[in-house]
Amino acid sequence: MPTTATPSLPGNRKKELRLFLLTTVLPTLLGLAAAAWSFRTSWQKMQLDERRDLQSRAEWFADALMSRVLASEGSPHAGPRGTRHPQPPRHLKENHPSSLSADEIAPFCGRLPRRDGTAFEIRNLDGSRFFASADWPARHRLEGECSLGPPLGDKTLATARADGGAGFRLRLALLFARNALITLLISSAFVGGGLHLLRTLRRERLDARTKADFFDNVSHELKTPLAGIRLNAELLVKNRIPDAELRRGALEAILVESDRLGRMVDELLEFRRLEKGTRRYRLETFDLAAFALDPAELQAAAAVSQGRVTVRAVGPSATVTADKDAIRQIGVILGSNALKYAGDGPFEIEIDGPCARYMDRGPGVPPGDEERIFERFWRGDDSLSAATSGSGLGLAIARGLARGMGGDLAYARRPGGGSVFTLHLQEAKP
């Protein structure tokens, strides 16, 4: 087999980079910005709702407390529980200090009904604590606040969650997790889509390059036998070969080049049938060793490999179900490759049960390219000036034929140098 060289991708890398930026990076950044804005807006709304709720609770506690205090003093300003008491101006709060001490206010605070785990604290003008409920949290995130009236004119009542705002923190964590998941999905979608687009474009460009190389190779391969046929035909038509033996040689050359041209056309047609799925197989049940060792088959194999073939059975006999013509075609392809790449080395065929191994002593295939040799249009050396000719379809056709019969064709390096192609066929059911 030939040494390998991966065809380079055509095109401008800067165009690919710009395309990636436009289709992936820019939409991803916009998506991340939208997700960040959504998170910030939701977070601000949660804070606003929490403050409003705590403010409402502070006003409710203030009304309830002042109703009890005023009712106990017999004040004409005492109103029903829950009636909002007017807020005293700040200068009145500063000039009219409270007439009740913390011990005197404690019984009123103790009789206040609790609301859904809300704690409260009464503060002085300087923010210091005057009185606090027993469940007032050491740490809290948000609170509501409401001023009190006489006889607590210089006090302010604040409310907070008794659990320190654990519920709010949980909702905030869930909000963060939701937005993080949305951000991850947006990023993954755009980045994955962009990478898929780039891979698709590169694959299409590689296919275009490979097909262009294939057509170049095929054109070159078709011109070679046509040139030989035309040259010999012109010499014969113009009677420029006087010697009878030389004329016979020219006619034989025309036949050889015609056969070569016919094989190339057949190869292209076969590949097209395999690609379209229209290849038909005539499956028969027969002994593989007897078929391979048949004198007619031996002669055909020798013709393909110019007499360098050795066929032998090394294992037990096996009955297979396969297409004989397809097996012959696989042998022709592998024999032609051995003739091209192994030079004067031997070409051996071993029959081992339902398997046939085709072995040569060529240069082999470098590690990592064992499967690439079966790709369509792929050649190790695709330059037109390469020493070996070919279209890059032979092994793709051979594997396609093998799998079409229900078998397979695999490659392995041969110990001591060379290649081993193993054709696995389907054993006949008893």
**CA-to-CA distance for 155 and 96, rounded, in angstroms?**
10
Over residues 22-47, the mean pLDDT reads 82
pLDDT reported for residue 157: 92
pLDDT reported for residue 32: 79
Give per-residue pLDDT as tens, 67-95: 888 887 665 444 444 444 555 555 556 66
Asked if 284 contacts 405 with a C-beta cutoff of 8 angstroms, the reply is no
What tokens were used for 171? Answer: 């909702």
Give per-residue pLDDT as tens, 337-378: 887 777 677 888 999 999 999 998 888 888 877 888 888 766
pLDDT reported for residue 423: 94
Where are the strands (E) in 212-353, listed by range?
284-287, 309-313, 319-322, 347-352
- Percent of the chain whose pLDDT exceeds 70: 84
pLDDT reported for residue 175: 86
pLDDT surpassing 60 at residue 389:
no
Q: Is the model more confident about 196 or about 306?
A: 196
Q: Please, is 418 exposed, middle or buried when counting C-beta atoms within 10 Å of its C-beta (0-12, 13-18, 19+)?
A: buried
Phi, psi of 73 (to 5 degrees): -90, 0
Q: Is 165 helix (H, G, I), strand (E, B) or coil?
A: coil
pLDDT reported for residue 286: 93
**CA-to-CA distance for 209 and 204, rounded, in angstroms?**
9
pLDDT surpassing 60 at residue 246:
yes
Over residues 25-53, the mean pLDDT reads 85
Q: Mean pLDDT score of the chain, rounded to an integer?
A: 80
Cα 29 to Cα 16, 17, 42, 177, distances in angstroms: 19, 16, 20, 19
pLDDT reported for residue 154: 85
Which domains, ranges and CATH numbers included, belong to the chain?
13-168 (no CATH), 284-424 (3.30.565.10)
Cα 294 to Cα 189, 298, 324, 352, 405, distances in angstroms: 61, 6, 12, 16, 21
Q: Is the model more confident about 31 or about 163?
A: 163
pLDDT surpassing 60 at residue 383:
no
What tokens were used for 405? Answer: 């019969």
pLDDT reported for residue 90: 58
pLDDT reported for residue 351: 92
Residue 427 DSSP label: B
What b/e readout covers 70-91, taking b as 16+ CB neighbours within 10 angstroms? beeeeeeebeeeeeebeebeee
Give per-residue pLDDT as tens, 261-317: 887 777 778 777 887 788 888 999 999 999 888 887 777 777 766 667 888 888 888
Asked if 405 contacts 397 with a C-beta cutoff of 8 angstroms, the reply is no
Over residues 378-384, the mean pLDDT reads 51
Confidence of residue 54 (pLDDT cuts 50, 70, 90): very high
Confidence of residue 180 (pLDDT cuts 50, 70, 90): confident
> Averaging pLDDT over each range in 108-122, 228-242, 261-275, 401-415, which range is the top one?
401-415
**CA-to-CA distance for 236 and 307, rounded, in angstroms?**
30
pLDDT surpassing 60 at residue 6:
no
Q: Is the model more confident about 330 or about 222?
A: 330
Confidence of residue 396 (pLDDT cuts 50, 70, 90): confident
Give per-residue pLDDT as tens, 258-269: 887 887 777 778
pLDDT reported for residue 80: 46
Over residues 188-196, the mean pLDDT reads 75
Asked if 413 contacts 362 with a C-beta cutoff of 8 angstroms, the reply is no
pLDDT surpassing 80 at residue 176:
yes
